[in-house]
Amino acid sequence: MVDSGSKAPDFSLPTDQGEAVKLSTLKGGPVVLYFYPKDDTSGCTQEAKDFSALIEQFETVGAKVFGISPDPVASKAKFRKKHELAVELLADEDKRVSLAYGVWVEKSMYGRKYMGVERATFLIDKTGKVAKVWRNVKVPGHVDEVLKAVKALKA
């Protein structure tokens, strides 16, 4: 389980364009990693649109934002294009990053248990430490809250 104050687990994942992003090379500014269950579903689409709508404000304070789910690169590319998303999406197909961050969890729907991604966001400071964690995220208002935390971290 990754908590505030702990070192963020390093990783390298492909973007929706197939280019690798390695967390340890992004030092110098805050990094926001938001984990979401599935491309092109209602809550996940809204969260991606919300981050995209404020991406320039994140970039203005030097923050990089990435959405992560287990969907493959092709799914991410289609999702990003369909909804004209400005936020970069990373494919965690083998779920190792989701496991490392403790967001690959047992879930339950209509009495059926299954494994899936818990909607969660991690704010990582410029030294690679986790500054703040949001778990079991509710989408409405979440991105505004993350932006406030990023601005407070930069202050």
**Active site (catalytic) residues:** 44
pLDDT one-digit tens code per residue, 75-127: 999 999 999 999 999 999 999 999 999 999 888 888 889 888 999 999 999 99
- Is residue 50 within 8 Å of residue 142, measured between CB atoms? yes
Residue 59 has pLDDT above 70, yes or no: yes
pLDDT one-digit tens code per residue, 31-43: 999 999 999 888 8
Tell which CATH classification among 3.40.190.10, 3.40.30.10, 3.40.50.360, 3.40.1710.10 matches the domain 29-154.
Answer: 3.40.30.10
- Residue-range domain boundaries for the chain: 29-154
Q: How many CA atoms lie within 13 A of 152 on its CB side?
A: 9
Distance CA 138, CA 144 (A): 12
pLDDT band at 155 (very low <50, low <70, confident <90, very high): low
Instruction: Look at the pTM and tell me if it is higher than 0.85.
Output: yes
